[in-house]
Amino acid sequence: MTKFSVFQYSQLEGYDKQKLILPFHLKNDGTPLVSAGRDNRHLITISGSKTSTNYPLEYPEFMLRLGGKNTAVATLPDITPPDSEDDLVRAEQELTDNHLDGLIKMKEVNPFLKTGDSSQIHTRFIEKVTVKVDSIRDDADESSIGDVSERLGRADMISQRMISLRKASTINWMIKYLTRDDGWNLQTTDDGTTRTTVATVDDTDTGVPGEDEISKYQSIDFPATFADPLNTKKIQGKNIESGVDFQTWANELGEVLPSTKGPAASDSSVSHWQEIVAWEDKSWIDEC
């Protein structure tokens, strides 16, 4: 999840019923652990002091909480939610300017998602969100907030942008991983100097507007990289026998049951792959 996470679901339920995003942390006896600025209740200032109310978080508070920050601050960040698909870039820039960007820690979103297989945390979250959106569409009481179609359209666009950026970041990481000394060391040239021998093609655009540092990225030409005599033996030493298998290995990095041999995926690669697949397979619109 990235800085595109700009939707507030707390308005759909009372602060004490909210379970999906930013639920109350519980004490050992099962009762809510209520702490001003660290729970999901809106704060107001009375006589110079922050006081909890029974109202849900407002947008600036919500974004602070997603970042694991305390909302009981003197001045809240000057940010407002997007009001249309065309307004997403503006909302994103505001989050960046206020240092509310980057990856969100899932344990801050929902501490209960930590249970079970840790590599499945993003998948479980996306599945829960899909179920919640479905219930909003079907439940007359929850739908009393009005037509949610436009919001779902923005959410779907956000998810597609997240997929594009995550895939781009994977390719950028892959080029470095294949080149590094502690990676595959595909960097020694004919004259003995060291520079990447990973073959790439023209820059690819993610299609995501804004000034993100990975709006453009290089695609790897895996067959050409494998065919380079300087690389072939190194890659074959990883149990990969052809350029096609090399590309398949890279495309499947993170799958639990890949179709080709090669170095096993790390836990972070598994989690990364599962997150992308979950966002692709669990379209907010198609499922609801």
* Dist CA 94 CA 96 (whole Å): 5
Amino acid at 282: K
With cut-offs at 50, 70 and 90, classify the pLDDT of residue 1: very low
User: What's the whole-number mean pLDDT along residues 145-170?
Assistant: 77
Residue 49 Ramachandran class (φ > 0 left, ψ -120 to 50 alpha, else beta):
beta
Provide the mean pLDDT of the chain.
78
With cut-offs at 50, 70 and 90, classify the pLDDT of residue 284: very low
* Dist CA 182 CA 179 (whole Å): 8
> 24-63: per-residue pLDDT in tens?
666 788 776 667 787 778 888 888 888 888 787 889 998 9
Distances (CA, A) of 242 to 140, 176, 232: 57, 21, 9
Query: By mean pLDDT, which of 19-33, 166-180, 224-238 is the weakest?
Result: 19-33
pTM exceeds cut of 0.85: no
- Predicted pLDDT at 25: 64
- Predicted pLDDT at 24: 66
Amino acid at 21: I
* Dist CA 112 CA 102 (whole Å): 22
Query: By mean pLDDT, which of 34-38, 92-96, 181-185 is the weakest?
Result: 34-38
- Specify which residues 50 forms β-bridges with: 45
More confidently predicted of 272 and 90: 90
Query: By mean pLDDT, which of 11-20, 66-75, 160-169, 269-278 is the weakest?
Result: 11-20
Please say if the pLDDT value at position 236 is more than 60. Answer: yes
Rg of the chain in Å (alpha carbons): 23
- Predicted pLDDT at 8: 42
- Predicted pLDDT at 2: 40
3-state helix, strand, coil in the chain (%, to 5): 45, 10, 45
Kind and range of the H or E run holding 27? none
* Dist CA 249 CA 275 (whole Å): 18
User: Could you identify the residue written with the tokens 């209740």?
Assistant: 41
Kindly write down the DSSP assignment for every residue of 178-238, as one continuous string.
HHSTTTT-TTB-TTS-B-----EEEEEE----S--TTSEEEEE-HHHHHHSHHHHHHHHTT
With beta carbons less than 8 A apart as the criterion, state whether 6 and 88 touch: yes
Q: At what angle do helices 267-281 and 121-138 cross, to 10 degrees?
A: 20
- Predicted pLDDT at 227: 96
Please say if the pLDDT value at position 184 is more than 70. Answer: yes
User: What's the whole-number mean pLDDT along residues 235-244?
Assistant: 94
* Dist CA 288 CA 284 (whole Å): 6
- Predicted pLDDT at 226: 97
- Specify which residues 44 forms β-bridges with: 51
